């Protein structure tokens, strides 16, 4: 059965000067709000921390994507600031199982993410412990990059073995790449520049949501 498509706008491409207004504009049409947390170490960019997460007003789940080293030190702060999902990167964790348990013990959803160059094998042992797997389709760090087609194979392989899992694809999503990602088996589309850069954001979201494969 094909899972219904969820849309998670990435606020990285929103205007932070009026963040809650930007979120209010898109949230009636979306499913999660995607929050990109970057530390300037794991990725070459610095974005937001728990203080900003706390200031977000949204009825939707806050899907926090931690692109940071030593995520275990900050998970609790993000959860107490309102995060509903915490996704960590395989590349930053020595003991993935332990960190996933730490997230679950805080009663929020746990996700694991891998970069385009990281193999699915590295997360095989945790797939049945997480609520979502986030497949990066660009090298993490910035919005507005080009979708890397080579990740589609990982999405298909993951979907073939996990019918119920939320498979999130993040980076370079637009009408065309959304089609390819959904066809491969993704059911959650993160999109930043495509949504916040559109003149008509509502119709951009509708195009992603109604993607025909």
Give dist(CA 34, CA 166) in Å, integer.
14
Task: Pull the structure tokens for residue 74.
Answer: 């900050």
| 48 near ligand DX5 (CB under 6 A) | no
| 99 near ligand DX5 (CB under 6 A) | no
Give dist(CA 148, CA 116) in Å, integer.
8
Span from 87-95, 148-156, 177-185, 192-200 in contact with ligand DX5 (CB under 6 A): 192-200
| 65 near ligand DX5 (CB under 6 A) | yes
| 70 near ligand DX5 (CB under 6 A) | no
Please, how many CA atoms are within 13 Å of residue 184, restricted to the half-sphere of its CB? 24
Span from 20-28, 69-77, 92-100, 190-198 in contact with ligand DX5 (CB under 6 A): 190-198
Closest CA to 148 of 166, 135, 161, 131: 135
| 201 near ligand DX5 (CB under 6 A) | no
Place of tokens 């019918």: 163
Closest CA to 23 of 76, 78, 82, 75: 82
- Binding ligand DX5 (rule: CB under 6 A), the pick from 61, 71, 111, 172 is 172
In whole angstroms, the minimum distance from the beta carbon of 1 to Zn ion comes to 27
DSSP-assigned beta bridge partners for residue 46: 39
Task: Pull the structure tokens for residue 169.
Answer: 């694809």
In whole angstroms, the minimum distance from the beta carbon of 148 to ligand DX5 comes to 11
Q: Are 88 and 122 in contact (CB under 8 A)?
A: no
In whole angstroms, the minimum distance from the beta carbon of 32 to ligand DX5 comes to 12
Q: Nearest to ligand DX5 by Cβ — which residue?
A: 192
Residues making contact with ligand DX5 (CB under 6 A): 10, 12-13, 34, 36, 65, 138, 140-141, 143-145, 170-173, 190-194
């Amino acid at each position: 059965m094909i899972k219904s498509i969820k849309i998670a706008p990435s606020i990285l491409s929103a205007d932070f000067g009026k963040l809650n207004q930007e979120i209010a504009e898109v949230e009636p049409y979306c499913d999660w709000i995607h929050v990109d947390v970057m530390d300037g170490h794991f990725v070459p960019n610095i974005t937001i921390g728990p203080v900003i997460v706390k200031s977000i007003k949204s009825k939707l789940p806050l899907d926090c994507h931690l692109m940071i080293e030593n995520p275990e030190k900050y998970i609790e702060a993000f959860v107490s600031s309102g995060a509903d999902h915490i996704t960590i990167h395989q590349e930053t964790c020595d003991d993935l199982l332990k960190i996933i348990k730490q997230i679950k013990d805080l009663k929020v959803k746990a996700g694991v993410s891998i970069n385009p160059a990281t193999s699915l094998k590295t997360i095989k042992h945790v797939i049945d412990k997480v609520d979502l797997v986030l497949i990066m389709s660009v090298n993490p760090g910035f919005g507005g990059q080009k979708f890397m087609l080579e990740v589609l194979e990982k999405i298909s392989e993951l979907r073939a073995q996990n019918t119920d899992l939320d498979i999130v694809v993040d980076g370079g999503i637009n009408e065309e790449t959304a089609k390819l990602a959904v066809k491969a088996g993704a059911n959650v589309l993160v999109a930043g520049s495509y949504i916040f850069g559109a003149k008509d954001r509502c119709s951009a979201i509708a195009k992603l949501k109604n993607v025909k494969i």
